[in-house]
Amino acid sequence: MSELLLATEGGQIVAFDPSTYQHSCVFHSSDDEAMMGIEAHGEHLYVASLSRIYKLRLSDFSKVAETEFYEPTPDFHQMQFYDGRLYVTSTKVNEIWIYDGDLQLVETHVIAPPNPKRRIKYKKNYNHLNNIIRHEGRFYIDLNWLAQKQYASSGVLVCDENLEEIERFEFGWETHDFQFIDGKRVAICATSDKGKRVKHVRRSGLMVEGELVFEHDSDEAFCKGLCYDDEFIYLCGGRKMERKHRKKSNSIIYILNRDDYSLARKFESTDIKAVKGAIIRP
């Protein structure tokens, strides 16, 4: 099993060894916000709270640079580094923000509404963007809400290298961390609290090519972070709690066998708070 780096609800970056369950906080944000995005590139680690992005040294997790604290918050979620640029989902404004390696903002791209031709007033957060990846020359952006209805079908926006839209397709519900594993489309499917007007089946787990191949109790956990090594897939999240108590939520990690998606082990911690993003430690 590989060591993980976890971005957590408690504003921490945690190094976690799933084989021994040993863990330590390697960075703590000064912002009173959850840590969300996490991405390693070269000798550096980029991490984001909802309103600020940090650049750290991987060797000792010391801070190299940071952005301003944005107000109002762009509600940063996940991010990836490609060709000298950091692509970040700015969820509250439904945009992709692009930074250079020194965290200077270079470009912003607005993601079009679900139906631009329909005369309707959309809220700014009309897709609830979760993550962005590049695969075989195209960008794939996870749309937690594909159409006009919230807590319903999710989907993926496919763009060219200039972030010009090619197509959108439906994929799962309340999805997080859409990726390709072994050439297959993969994402976390989650289920919001019973107080929300959920318009999909109340099932949660790992979806592969449209099939829920691993399922966990929807009332137990809400997962947002997905990473994998040669043998295992790590489905990371937190125990479900009301939003006002979410900072106290325990982390939960489901460790799956990569060959058949069966559960190898489950980890829960009161010390590590709910996981918002996860990567394999380089």
Confidence of residue 120 (pLDDT cuts 50, 70, 90): very low
146 by Cβ neighbours in 10 Å (0-12 / 13-18 / 19+) ranks as: buried
Q: What is the largest CA-CA distance in the chain?
A: 55
Average pLDDT, the chain: 93
At 119 the pLDDT is 52
What are the E-state strand segments in 9-137? 12-17, 22-28, 35-41, 44-49, 53-57, 63-66, 76-82, 85-90, 95-100, 105-110, 129-135
Three-class SS of residue 243?
Answer: helix
Q: What residue type is assigned to position 3 of the chain?
A: E
Q: Average pLDDT of 3-11? A: 96
Q: Which of 6-10, 72-76, 107-111, 244-248 shows the lowest mean pLDDT across its residues?
A: 244-248
Q: Which two tokens stand for residue 177?
A: 């961390």
At 121 the pLDDT is 52
Confidence of residue 141 (pLDDT cuts 50, 70, 90): very high
Confidence of residue 122 (pLDDT cuts 50, 70, 90): low
The pTM (predicted TM-score) of the whole model is: 0.95
Confidence of residue 152 (pLDDT cuts 50, 70, 90): confident
> Percentage of residues in the chain with pLDDT exceeding 70?
96
Task: Enumerate the β-bridge partners of residue 45.
Answer: 40, 56
List the Cα angle 218/8/107 in 5-degree steps.
Answer: 105
Q: Which residue has the higher pLDDT, 102 or 114?
A: 102
Q: Which residue has the higher pLDDT, 114 or 159?
A: 159
At 147 the pLDDT is 82
At 148 the pLDDT is 76
191 has pLDDT over 50: yes
246 has pLDDT over 80: no
